[in-house]
Chain A
Amino acid sequence: MKTKITVSAFVIMLAIFAVLTLMPGDPDSVIAENREPAQMPEVSLNNIFFGDFCSDYESFLSDDVGFRGKLISLSNKINSLKGIKGYGYISNANADLGLGAGDTKKGLLIADEKIMEIFKANAQQRDNYADMVSHYRNSLPDDIYVYSMIIPTQIEFEGDEYKSLSDSQKETIDYIYNKVDSRVKCVNAYDALKNHKNEYIYFRTDHHWTTLGAYYAYREFAQTAKVNIANIKDYEEKKAEGFLGYLYNQAQATELKEKPDTIYYYEKEGQNLTTYATAWENGEVIKYQGKIFSPAPAGTETKYSLFMGGDHPLLYIPTNVENGRHLMIIKDSYANAFIPWVINSFETVVVCDPRSFGTDIMSVAEEYGITDVLLMNYTFTTTFPDIISLEKGIMQ
């Protein structure tokens, strides 16, 4: 009797495995990880014997398994039983952030209801980063101002215990600011943020800063650039609740699910400007329009793409300002919360994302009569070889 029960249980479980593996999957759970589900690879003798059929097929299976989202949350529940979380813990995110972050990441610290990326300095890449900035200065005409702004992340302003996990971001920033061509104007975003470190300047579940954090850095930048500075008090505070950011997905820190972030943003009558985007896809140029703020429709998830609908290869924003200053920003996604501020101080704002940019900077600068070029990245970008070389590559 016992034997039959046991064997039946095993056979039934194995049959369930087979059904789950073979049944159609749950593509939404893959899309929630910000990627496309792996496709069934081509079945051909050549691909099987000499190609990547086997590994591609296994990727396909793991994306296509039935009830994938439910199984992953069960898996996360099991994993959360390993110990006491109150002390904080370190999670090792395998996936890359941006392009080719790879082994430069030390992991994530989850403590005090926030998720923080642990910084690991990269001596070789920060030299390359500084060279890249100098390359912009040397390539652009002398009458165009070139600024560098490197933005520290949350863990930098934590107490010693958490900070000890991470390399000093200040050291990397200072190093680069000292090394770049002396004609580059370096923006001290570090102290601007540090002075407000107890305010809500970073998201708890995302690696980005908040609009408020961006505001303090913007003030510092506008001062350096000697342009008119907007005051946050003149704007109406709006909020989008229920934001669970990228790091939440990376760390799968389900205990924070009930404690999402809120995205605050600041609007003024007539300041939700139209943005003109250009993208390059398969050799084709695509043009489309958007808005500075595009909150997700009611009932859908709040995302960081609230700002301009996310990252675009090239964005052109004519503003209401008339001061003869035309700004170009070479950026990563850290700039997205910054742009709503900077449109108050320049006549034109042009935003280039080197990860998907499809032409050269010089021609764009000429086209829009650029007078100021700001290279802004968060500190982690100074460790990513791919982005640095892309950023350098678009400046001929």
Chain B
Amino acid sequence: MVFSSLLFLGIFLPATLILYNLSKNITYKNVILVLSSVIFYAWGEPKLVLLLVFTAFIGYLSGLIIDKYNGRRQAKMALIGALVICLGSLGMFKYSGFVVENFNFLFGTDFSFAGFALPLGISFYTFQILSYVIDIYRGDVGLQKSFLKFMTYVSMFPQLVAGPIVRYIDIEKQIENRKVTLEKFESGTLRFCQGLLKKVVLANSAGQIADALLGGDLLSCSSATAWLGIIFYTFQIYFDFSGYSDLAIGMGRFFGFEFMENFTYPYISTSITDFWRRWHISLSTFFRDYVYIPLGGNRKHQIFNIAVVWMLTGLWHGASWNFILWGTFYGIVLIIEKKAFGGALLKMPRWLGHIYSMVIVVLGWALFYFTDFTKLKNFFVCAFGGTGNFLDYTAKSTFFSNIWLLIILAVSSTPLLKILFKKATKIKYIGKFVPAIGIIFAMSICFALLVGQTYNAFLYFRF
């Protein structure tokens, strides 16, 4: 099920909220959360719920074993077992088709195996389960004896399919005991509406244009069309993904959970190092804490560690070479920022830093967008004037017929609107109505657009 659908907004969410608040009993609340999450997950592909429950059970079971044999050989075996099974199933479902394809290519064999349909959210929930198992092995979290509570953590529908990657350590206490105050609920509603606007108004509009501009034969396009297309895609992917995180964080608060922030205005970064502190924070901190630091972090063979982390980051985004290329590209840029020019890159004037960062980021999204290398090459040929066609009617008409949208996209990528909103709520007499007006406005627009638009695919479902 997707958040931005009539089914979710008109039936699933209202029903879940009502049922959840019928009783104050925490076990009842957890049961409702798990059941609704299972329905949410099963909608459309019921069979794969079994995989989710199985993987969660493996995490739960190895937690029990690790706790019992704390520090002994059995605990290590349980940890390794859980890692093998969880990463194994992730590998099988996400990467087997890719591996077979490359094997065929390398050895000229002809195994006809196209891989599995990617189970929804597998990349996210596998990492969540692993964080629990590793943390309990390290002694950072306590044992969760109840499978119901463990499932509450793993399956929670607000963040199940597209993050943020919530770590058990962060919500350990909230699972046992949580309270939804009116203030918390209020902040949740505002966050929810912000996410809905980002997804339904901004991401979907930008995405439609990006696909129209980049989907055709790029060699017959002008450079302006190629750049405009990738800029719209740059906006689409940010508002799509951060909108999803806002929805997750907002709905988490409806149920008393506080999830970590996942995005803090990545497009106002002054360097790529800065960008990756602001983009998909739950993923980069996961790789930092569970891969980079265990490998030795800054202390030994740092370059190697960075390279490994960024190859993995790329691969995590999809079973395709372009994602590995995309990750490697960032690995190289980050190594250059850290090591070359004595860190001079990080000390450049702010405005230059913004330009530099955005150029890298936009080029990065081109590597990310085109899974087909021929198309990727054509894109670069076209973008850098190789077709000899610099400006055409498509670019001109798309630019003018979406000029207000472009301005809104750019402004919404900065904290400006948030600051204005805060100021408006402080206005005498009418300030207290501002959030309510905002909510009515946002939700009406989004509902009308959802009815009106057939285009409604979540980008991050691929991962």
Contacts and interface: CB of A to CB of B under 8 A. Distances in A.
Interface string A1-45: 111111111100111011011100000000000000000000000
B5 interface: yes
Overall SS of chain A's interface: helix
A87 B401 contact: yes
Nearest to A58: B7
B110 interface: no
B46 interface: yes
Contact of B404 (A22, A68, A75, A83): A83
B13 interface: yes
Task: Find the residue from A4, A13, A49, A58 having the highest chain B CB count within 10 A.
Answer: A13
A2 B425 contact: yes
A94 B455 contact: yes
Interface in A70-84: 71-72, 74-76, 78-79, 81-84
Given A82-B404, A86-B400, A94-B455, A161 B447 contact: no
A106 interface: yes
A6 B7 contact: no
B113 interface: no
A13 B444 contact: yes
Contact of B46 (A48, A75, A161): A48
Interface string A41-70: 000000011000011011001100100100
B435 A161 contact: no
A161 B397 CA distance: 11
B13 A162 contact: no
Contact of B401 (A21, A55, A85): A85
Given A7-B182, A88-B397, A15 B451 contact: no
A40 to B, nearest CB: 13
Contacts of A20: 10, 447
B451 A72 contact: yes
Interface string B35-48: 00000000110110
A152 interface: no
Given A18-B14, A76-B452, A87 B400 contact: yes
B22 to A, nearest CB: 15
A175 interface: no
Nearest to A160: B393
Interface string B427-454: 0000111011101100111011101111
Contacts of B436: 5-6, 8-9
A245 interface: no
Interface string B13-28: 1100100000000000
A188 B445 CA distance: 50
Interface in A83-100: 83-90, 92, 94-95
B443 A17 contact: yes
Interface in B380-400: 392-394, 396-400
B402 A83 contact: yes
A164 interface: yes
B449 A22 contact: no
Contacts of A13: 439-440, 443-444
Interface stretch (B137-145, B184-192, B346-354): B184-192
A62 B448 CA distance: 11
A71 B6 contact: no
B43 A54 contact: yes
A174 B444 CA distance: 52
A14 B444 CA distance: 10
A247 B18 CA distance: 44
B404 A57 contact: no
B393 A9 contact: no
A344 B201 CA distance: 55
Contacts of A18: 10-11, 14
B186 A74 contact: no
Contact of B451 (A75, A87, A161): A75
Nearest to A70: B448
B53 interface: no
Contact of B435 (A5, A55, A75): A5
A87 B393 CA distance: 9
Given A17-B9, A48-B46, A62-B6, A87 B455 contact: no
A4 B436 CA distance: 9
A8 to B, nearest CB: 7
A82 B10 CA distance: 27
Contact of A14 (B5, B14, B403): B14
B205 interface: yes
B336 to A, nearest CB: 38
B404 A74 contact: no
Contacts of B201: 78
B401 A89 contact: yes
A260 interface: no
Interface string A85-126: 111111010110000000000110001000000000000000
A71 B14 contact: no
A87 to B, nearest CB: 4
Contacts of A8: 436
B403 A83 contact: yes
A82 B14 contact: no
B216 interface: yes
Contact of A4 (B182, B400, B443): B182
Contacts of B212: 90, 92, 107
A78 B404 CA distance: 12
B208 interface: yes
B397 A89 contact: yes
A164 B435 contact: no
Contacts of A184: none
Given A81-B404, A90-B398, A6 B439 contact: yes
Contacts of A83: 399-406
A9 B201 CA distance: 20
A14 B6 contact: no
B402 A14 contact: no
Contacts of A3: 182-183, 186
Contact of B448 (A4, A71, A107): A71
Interface in B355-369: none
B454 to A, nearest CB: 5
A107 B398 CA distance: 13
8 contacts: A2-B431, A7-B185, A17-B9, A61-B11, A83-B406, A89-B397, A111-B397, A162-B393
Closest 8 A/B residue pairs (Cβ): A75-B452, A21-B10, A89-B401, A9-B436, A2-B432, A10-B189, A71-B451, A82-B405
Given A82-B205, A83-B401, 17 more contacts: A2-B425, A2-B431, A2-B435, A6-B435, A9-B189, A9-B435, A10-B443, A17-B447, A57-B7, A74-B448, A84-B400, A86-B400, A87-B400, A89-B401, A94-B455, A95-B454, A252-B452
